[in-house]
Amino acid sequence: MDSPAFAYFCMEFAVHPEIPTYTGGLGILAGDTIRAAADMGLPAVGITLLHRKGYFRQYLDFHGNQTESEYNWSPEHLMEKLELRVKIDVEGRPVHLRVWRYSIKGITGHSVPVYFLDTCLQENSPYDRELTDYLYGGDPRYRLCQEMVLGFGGIGALRALGYMDIHAYHMNEGHSAMVTLALMEEQAWGRGLLSLNQDDIVSVSKRCVFTTHTPMPAGHDEFGLDLVRSILGNDRTDFLIKTKVCSNGFLNMTNLALNYSRYVNGVSMRHEEVARKILNNHHIDAVTNGVHAVTWTSRPFCQLYDSFIPQWRRDNLYLKHAIRIPLEDIRRAHSEAKLELLQEVGRRTAIRLDPEILTIGFARRATGYKRPTLLFHNIERLKAIAERGQRIQLIYGGKAHPRDDGGKSLIRQIFEASRTLKESITVVYIEEYDINLAKYLISGVDLWLNTPQKPLEASGTSGMKAALNGIPTFSILDGWWIEGHIEGVTGWSIGDGWESLSNLESESASLYDKLEKVILPMYYDRPEEYASVMRSAISCNGSYFNAQRMVTQYLQNAYLRNLNNL
C-alpha cells in the first residue's frame, strides 16, 4: 500500500448527506479536503468517530423555539464494517474499538478511505459503548474520553490497518490533539513517556501538523488536571506537566497540539494574525480554506462549466476562464437553480416565494458572533427600503447548539422579525440546516449575506460555495472575505475595512445604505451588470477558494515540505 502523504484527524467529518457525523464548517472542511485529495490521486486517510446518534435533528415551533432529537442511522447500510479490533487504555481500563470504512472516490477513480471509530461493542462497559455516540455531547469526562478514542484509537487503528509510515498527521482543530501523545507513546516503545528526550520529541513533532480554528483566547476545549489524571493516568499526565503543556491547572487541547506540531496554521490571512496574538506569538502560517468545487456547484452550473471549460473538474483553476461565459448563460443557469431552491422551500414550508424578487440567503450555525439578526437591527429602516418598491425576500437556516441559549434566542428573534415584517418582506426560516439544504441555498439565492463580529470569523466557507454558483457575497470584511472581496466585482462589503473592531450601529447603517443604494438598483435596473458581478465571483473566487488549491497549499507548505531546516 502507498504510504499516505497525510492522515487527517477531525472530530467531525461530512462524507455523505445521509451520514450525520458533522455539525458544520469544520466537518465539511474535513470532507472537502478528502474529496479533493481523492480527485488529485493523493494517498491519504481520514480518521474520525462514528457518532451513532449524530449531532441532533432540529425542530422549530411557530415562535422559533428549537427542540432537538437524536438521529438514528445505520452505518451498516452506508459503510463497510471491518473485522479488526483496537484496544486502548482509558481511565485505567481497556476500551475496545471497531473500525468502519467509508471510501471517497475521486474523478479519476482513486479512492481515499475515511475510518470511523466505534466503541459500541459487547466487550465494553455500557458507559464505554456510548463513547462514540454523541458529537459534542456529554460532560467534560465524556468529551475527554472521546478525544482519547480519536487520538489513541486513531493511531492504533492506522497501525492495525497497516499504515506504518505516514508523512504527516494532520490535526484539524484541538479535539484531535491526543494524536501527539499517542505518537509520543509509540516513540517511547514501552519505556514510558518520561524517558523521552528532546530528540524523541522533535522526531514526533516533525510529523505533526495542526490547524487551529479558534479565534478566541478562551478555547472551550480544556480540561481540569484532576480529570486529566483520572482519564489519562499518571504517566501521561506527568509527562504533560513536565513538558509544560499544562498551565494553571488545565490541559488546553490547542496548547497540546501547538506544542508538538512542527507546522501550525490558521484558516485565513486575518485569522493567522489573530491566532498569533492569542497563542503567544507562536509561529503560525495561513492556509485559507477552500470548498470542494464539484460537490458545491449546482447541476445547472456544472453543465455550464462542462460545456465552456470542461477541464474545470480536473483542475479548478480553469474556473478563471468562466469570464468568457456569456452573461445570458450565467443568468439562465442561475434562474434554474433559483427555481429549484424556491420549489424546495415550498415543499418544506408551504411558503411560496417569488422568483422575480431579490432573494437574500443567510445560513450558518446560530450563535452570537455570527450575528444573524444584524439585518433586523433597524427594522423600520429595512421595512422602508422594501416598501419603496425594490422588493426583497429572505431565507434563513441554522441550528443552535443545544446548550447555546443565546443562539436559540437569535432564532426566536428572527421568527419575531418575520412577523413584524410580514406585510413588506417574506422571511422564511428553514429547519434542519445540513448539506442537503445548504446545496439549495448556496446555489439558489441571489445574494449571500454574512454579518460576523470582527475578528471572530476565522474563515467562513459558505460564501465560497455561493461564489462557485455565481452568487455574490455581501459581508462584513472578516475571515476569507478580506481576501475574496473586490467591491462591486465579486460582491460588496459591509462596514469600513477589516482592521477595526465591529460597531453595530455603523455596520448596520452601512448594510442598509449599500443594499438600498447599490445592490437593489443594480439588481432591478441593471440586471446585466448584476450578472457580470455574478460571473466575476465565479472567475475570481471560484477558481481560488476551492479545496484543490487548499490541499495543494498544505502539500507545499506543510506535508511535503522539508522542515529539517526550519
Ligand X SMILES: *Cc1c(COP(=O)(O)O)cnc(C)c1O
Q: Does 435 bind ligand X (CB under 6 A)?
A: yes
433 touching ligand X, by CB under 6 A: yes
Residue 114, helix vs strand vs coil: strand
Count of H-run helices and E-run strands, the chain: 23, 19
272 vs 434 by CB, closer to ligand X = 434
| Residue 386: strand, helix, or coil | helix
CB of 438 to ligand X, least distance (A): 3
Locate 423 and state its grid cell: 406585510
Q: Which of 11, 28, 37, 181 binds ligand X (CB under 6 A)?
A: 28
d(CA 450, CA 507): 12
Q: How far is the CB of 461 from ligand X (least distance, A)?
A: 4
What is the distance between the alpha carbons of residues 49 and 117, in angstroms, rounded to a whole number? 5
444 lies in the site for ligand X, by CB under 6 A = no
Q: What backbone phi and psi angles, to 5 degrees, belong to 11? A: -60, -30
Q: Cβ 298 to ligand X, closest distance in Å?
A: 13
Return the range that interacts with ligand X (CB under 6 A); candidates 130-138, 333-341, 413-421, 428-436: 428-436
- Rounded to the nearest whole angstrom, what is the least distance from the CB of residue 128 to ligand X in the complex? 30
Strand partners, 225: none
Residue 98 Cβ vs ligand X, minimum distance, rounded to whole Å: 28
Q: Of 143, 364, 371, 408, which lies in the binding site for ligand X, with binding defined by CB under 6 A?
A: 364
Q: Sign of dihedral through CA atoms 253, 255, 256, 258?
A: positive
**Is 478 a binder of ligand X (CB under 6 A)?**
no
Q: Does 542 bind ligand X (CB under 6 A)?
A: no
Kindly state the smallest distance separating residue 364's Cβ from ligand X, in Å: 3
Residue 493, classed as helix, strand or coil, is: strand
Smallest gap from Cβ 465 to ligand X, in A, equals: 6
Cβ nearer to ligand X, comparing 152 with 480:
480
The answer to whether 25 contacts ligand X (rule: CB under 6 A) is: yes
Closer residue to ligand X, CB minimum distance, 25 or 300: 25
Neighbours of 396 (CB within 10 A): 27
Stretch that binds ligand X, among 1-9, 138-146, 431-439, 481-489 (CB under 6 A): 431-439
C-alpha cell at 193: 513517556
Tell me the per-residue interface mask from 452 to 471 with ligand X, x by CB under 6 A, - otherwise. --------xxx--x------
* Distance between start and end Cα atoms, the chain: 30
170's CB contacts (< 8 A; 6+ apart) are 6, 7, 8, 9, 209, 210, 211, 554, 558, 559
Q: Which is nearer to ligand X, 177 or 435 (CB)?
A: 435
- Per residue, the 3-state secondary structure of 501-556, as one string, reads CCCHHHHHHHHHHHHHHHHHHHHHHCHHHHHHHHHHHHHHHHCCCEHHHHHHHHHH
CB of 102 to ligand X, least distance (A): 18
Query: With CB under 6 A as the contact rule, which of the stretches 44-52, 99-107, 430-438, 466-474 interacts with ligand X?
Result: 430-438
Is the peptide bond prior to 215 cis by the omega test (within 30 degrees of 0)? no
**Three-class SS state of 159:** helix
Shortest CB 237 distance to ligand X, Å: 35
Minimum CB distance to ligand X smaller for 308 or for 369: 369
Which residues lie near ligand X (CB under 6 A)?
24-25, 28, 364, 433-435, 438, 460-462, 465
